[in-house]
């Protein structure tokens, strides 16, 4: 992944939000942590691996149509395709230009990625996100005791430590661990490629800019 490009894009988005929402001078880091924790929960909900009470524990990779033209009813309409980029008419307004097909699980994953990047920028921890692809296996081996849930809980624990510990060096180290486990979940746990993650991030970043433009 081109992290440098993604840092630049994330900073541009964050700066725009601060400027347009009048948030200059406010400490937004606590909100950013809450946002990341919330998005991680939404990602897990689509991943479904932990739902031992359910007959369906397969990840939700179903495609959806997301129409920005139907502003009075911005719906997500189920389609039979899974994770394909297709040109399809919206079932409601039949517009083709603003309609795309996405992947629920991957979209939730890159929503989390946005906030990892924001925290790294705010804290000056950008170097902690530079992890060679071959090293991701080490994070998996260190954290997959207890299966995917074990990794997820350990990631959350490290993420919270990166916020709550007193020592800044320890905070930074825990953030690095949380990020490595996050990558292991996506790349090893669900088979995302770095290229897929980067492309999905770029797409969602553009959507987030459009939302700001439309007064989200």
- Asked if residue 118 is part of any domain, the answer here is yes
- Asked if residue 74 belongs to a domain, the reply is no
Whether residue 31 lies inside any domain: the answer is: yes
Q: Is 66 part of any domain?
A: no
- Name the more confident of 94 and 156: 156
Summarised one tens digit per residue, pLDDT across range 11-63 is 999 999 999 999 999 999 999 999 999 999 999 999 999 999 999 999 988 76
Rounded to whole angstroms, the Cα distance separating 136 from 106 reads 18
Number of domains in the chain: 1
Residues 6 or more apart whose Cβ sits within 8 Å of residue 203:
100, 102
In our burial notation (b when 16+ CB lie closer than 10 A, e otherwise), range 118-131 reads: bbbbebebeebbeb
Kindly compute the dihedral angle of the four CA atoms of residues 185, 188, 191, 196, in this order, to the nearest 10 degrees. 70
Which residue range(s) make up the domain with 188?
3-58+105-211
CA distance 31 to 14: 13
Question: Is 36 a member of any domain?
Answer: yes
Mean pLDDT of 120-148: 83
At residue 140, what are phi and psi to the nearest 5 degrees? -60, -45
What tens digit of pLDDT does each residue of 141-156 get? 665 667 899 899 999 9
Determine the pLDDT at residue 130: 94
- Summarize pLDDT for 194-215 with one digit per residue, the tens: 999 999 899 888 888 887 887 7
Report which DSSP code applies to 30.
H
Note whether residue 128 is domain-resident. yes
97 located within any domain: no
Q: From the DSSP assignment, how many helices (H) and strands (E) are in the chain?
A: 7, 3
Name, of 55-59, 109-113, 145-149, 185-189, the range with top average pLDDT: 109-113
Domain for residue 52, yes or no? yes
């Amino acid at each position: 992944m081109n992290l440098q490009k993604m840092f630049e894009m994330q900073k541009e988005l964050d700066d725009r939000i601060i400027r347009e929402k009048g948030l200059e001078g406010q400490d937004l880091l606590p909100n950013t942590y809450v946002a990341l924790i919330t998005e991680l929960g939404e990602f897990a909900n689509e991943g479904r691996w932990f739902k031992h009470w359910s007959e369906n524990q397969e990840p939700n990779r179903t495609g959806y149509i997301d129409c920005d033209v139907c502003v009075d009813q911005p719906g997500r309409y189920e389609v039979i395709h899974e994770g394909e980029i297709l040109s399809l008419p919206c079932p409601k307004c039949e517009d083709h230009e603003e309609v795309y097909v996405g992947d629920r699980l991957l979209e939730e994953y890159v929503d989390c990625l946005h906030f990892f990047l924001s925290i790294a920028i705010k804290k000056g921890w950008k170097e902690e996100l530079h992890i060679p692809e071959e090293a991701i296996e080490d994070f998996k081996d260190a954290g997959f005791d207890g299966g995917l849930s074990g990794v997820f809980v350990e990631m959350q624990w490290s993420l919270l430590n990166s916020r709550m510990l007193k020592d800044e060096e320890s905070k930074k180290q825990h953030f690095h661990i949380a990020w490595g486990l996050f990558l292991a979940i996506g790349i090893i746990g669900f088979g995302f490629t770095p290229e897929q993650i980067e492309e999905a991030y770029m797409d969602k970043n553009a959507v987030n800019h459009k939302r700001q433009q439309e007064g989200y």
